[in-house]
């Protein structure tokens, strides 16, 4: 077989740049060019993790990959046999980037500077002879005999022996229009990582964090747990972000209107909540209900919840009665809020949907019907919850394609 010589990587994000570095080391004889539509490479990496770059996760809290990857977990399980989070840790440390593991199992560069990751990848690309061209938007892609014809910005056409698509998530189907001539099955894209607009949320408690809550959508199987943050527009934090990922398509199909149930006591059930309240009452029958609250809740939040339960702040525990106790326990474990839309999560943007996984070879990420065409990252119907999992999918996909092309 005549070795492929010209490799075009479309998209200078995490997957594309990592693929370029790996491939340049495995096959220095190849001519590798990375084309980026925007003005800067790795722009999303530069802002991820609040500018600190949560580049992977220990996966210690993950018992099933579907917890991290609501879409694509079976494929990720297979690909992790080739390159996983431990490989990512070793690779970056070998390149001079010391990493640290946080208590929440998120992995960051010790410098807490996302630009260190950007600089290392760009330096390794230059060292490998990889050409980077920005301001190059791919508008058409078609097979021509044994090569690929690519059209950029509607007017510049060139050819390549193999093409790697790592353009990231597309909020609208039009973002994948360049793949149209190929007839690939596209799963309609929609946002999958966002906070929730909840008008009933108390703006006066903006900034309040409850460390362990459970949230769910009424009438569905969708639920998540973790810290919750009250914002000036509604609710955020890891619990809400995970829920938004799990229920991304359901929420999109319902116009981002649904009933959110908040269990302010985490995984505590109704009976356990009643027992907790009884224990508070038993030791402090003459204290006002407003003055004594569960340790997990702040006094201000507790008083807000008492008001939602219809209980007077001057009510004494001895006066609570079974009806008041039941009403309070029910609210603590299933406090309902009407969702009235979504809001972006910082500068990060993740989508579900994209090229259907049925279109690709799960071992190589090569398109089944188009030899020489590879896809990785969010352009595929793969996405993850927050916590470094999306970047890990990018590193893994880039590494797998590099090895596939090198053989």
Can you tell me the mean pLDDT for 190-219? 94
pLDDT of residue 347: 47
Measured between alpha carbons, how far is 53 from 44 in angstroms, rounded to an integer?
Answer: 9
- Given a cut of 70, is residue 173 above it in pLDDT? yes
Q: Give yes or no for a contact between 79 and 89, defined as CB atoms under 8 angstroms apart.
A: no
pLDDT of residue 349: 66
Sheet holding 194-197, edge to edge: 335-340, 257-263, 209-217, 223-230, 234-236, 194-197, 342-344
Using alpha carbons, list the distances in angstroms from residue 17 to 24, 30, 96: 11, 15, 17
Can you tell me the mean pLDDT for 274-302? 92
Helices 299-308 & 321-333, crossing angle to 10 degrees?
A: 110
Give the 3-state secondary structure of 335-401: EEEEEECEEEECCECCEEEEECHHHECCCCCEECCCCCEEECHHHECCECCCCCHHHHHHHHHHHHH
- Given a cut of 90, is residue 155 above it in pLDDT? no
Can you tell me the mean pLDDT for 87-112? 97
- Given a cut of 70, is residue 346 above it in pLDDT? no
pLDDT of residue 2: 46
User: Which segment of 4-8, 76-80, 136-140 scores lowest on mean pLDDT?
Assistant: 4-8
Strand partners for 31:
6
Measured between alpha carbons, how far is 407 from 400 in angstroms, rounded to an integer?
Answer: 11
Can you tell me the mean pLDDT for 109-135? 98
Q: Tokens for 407?
A: 């053989």
For the chain, what percent of residues have pLDDT higher than 70?
98
- Given a cut of 90, is residue 6 above it in pLDDT? yes
Using alpha carbons, list the distances in angstroms from residue 242 to 43, 68, 295, 374, 384: 23, 9, 25, 29, 9
pLDDT of residue 1: 42
Residue-wise pLDDT tens digits, 364-383? 999 999 999 999 999 999 99
Residue-wise pLDDT tens digits, 55-87? 999 999 999 999 999 999 999 999 999 999 999
- Given a cut of 70, is residue 355 above it in pLDDT? yes
- Given a cut of 70, is residue 10 above it in pLDDT? yes
Using the structure block, give the residue that is written with the tokens 């050409």.
Answer: 131
- Given a cut of 50, is residue 51 above it in pLDDT? yes
- Given a cut of 60, is residue 243 above it in pLDDT? yes
Measured between alpha carbons, how far is 364 from 400 in angstroms, rounded to an integer?
Answer: 6
Phi, psi angle pair for 148, to nearest 5° = -120, 135
Using the structure block, give the residue that is written with the tokens 């039009």.
Answer: 174
Q: Where does 209-356 show beta strands of DSSP type E? A: 209-217, 223-230, 234-236, 257-263, 335-340, 342-344, 351-355
Q: Tokens for 369?
A: 């019907």
pLDDT of residue 345: 63
How would residue 175 be classed by pLDDT, with cut points 50, 70 and 90? Answer: confident
- Given a cut of 80, is residue 219 above it in pLDDT? yes
Higher pLDDT, 31 or 49: 31
Residue-wise pLDDT tens digits, 302-323? 999 999 999 998 999 999 999 9
Can you tell me the mean pLDDT for 335-363? 87
Strand partners for 23:
none
pLDDT of residue 13: 97
- Given a cut of 60, is residue 3 above it in pLDDT? no
Helix (H) or strand (E) holding 189: strand 186-191
Can you tell me the mean pLDDT for 126-137? 98
Residue among 24, 5, 367 at smallest CA distance from 160: 5
Phi, psi angle pair for 228, to nearest 5° = -125, 140
Residue among 135, 96, 145 at smallest CA distance from 117: 96
């Amino acid at each position: 077989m005549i070795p492929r010589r010209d490799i075009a990587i479309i998209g200078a994000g995490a997957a594309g740049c990592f693929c370029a570095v790996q491939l340049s080391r495995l096959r220095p004889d190849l001519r590798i060019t990375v084309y980026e539509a925007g003005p800067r490479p790795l722009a999303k990496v530069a802002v991820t993790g609040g500018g600190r770059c949560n580049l992977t996760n220990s996966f210690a809290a993950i018992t099933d990959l579907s917890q991290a990857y609501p879409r694509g977990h079976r494929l990720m399980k297979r690909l992790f046999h080739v390159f996983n989070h431990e490989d990512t840790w070793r690779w970056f440390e070998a390149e001079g980037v010391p990493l640290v593991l946080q208590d929440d199992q998120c992995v960051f560069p010790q410098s807490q500077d996302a630009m260190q990751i950007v600089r290392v990848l760009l330096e390794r690309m230059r060292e490998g002879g990889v050409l980077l061209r920005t301001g190059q938007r791919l508008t058409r892609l078609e097979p021509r005999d044994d090569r690929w014809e690519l059209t950029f910005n509607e007017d510049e056409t060139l050819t390549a022996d193999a093409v790697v698509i790592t353009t990231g998530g597309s909020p609208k189907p039009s973002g994948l229009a360049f793949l149209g001539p190929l007839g690939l099955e596209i799963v309609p894209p929609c946002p999958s990582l966002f906070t929730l607009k909840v008008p009933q949320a108390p703006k006066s408690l903006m900034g309040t964090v409850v460390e362990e809550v459970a949230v769910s959508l009424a009438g569905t199987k969708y639920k998540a747990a973790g810290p919750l943050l009250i914002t000036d527009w509604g609710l955020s934090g890891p619990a809400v972000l995970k829920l938004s990922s799990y229920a991304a398509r359901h929420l999109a199909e319902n116009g981002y209107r649904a009933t959110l149930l908040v269990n302010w006591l985490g995984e505590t059930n109704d009976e356990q909540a009643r027992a907790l309240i009884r224990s508070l009452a038993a030791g402090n029958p003459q204290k006002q209900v407003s003055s004594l609250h569960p340790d997990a809740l702040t006094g201000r939040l507790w008083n807000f919840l008492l008001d939602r339960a219809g209980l007077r702040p001057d009510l004494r525990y001895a006066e609570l009665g079974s009806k008041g106790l039941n009403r309070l326990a029910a609210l603590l474990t299933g406090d309902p809020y009407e969702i009235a839309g979504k809001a972006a999560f910082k500068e990060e943007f993740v989508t579900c949907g994209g090229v259907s996984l049925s279109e690709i070879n799960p071992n190589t990420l090569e398109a089944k019907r188009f030899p020489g065409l590879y896809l990785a990252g969010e352009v595929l119907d793969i996405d993850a919850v927050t916590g470094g999992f999306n970047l890990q999918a990018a590193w893994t996909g880039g590494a797998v394609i590099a090895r596939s092309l090198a053989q």
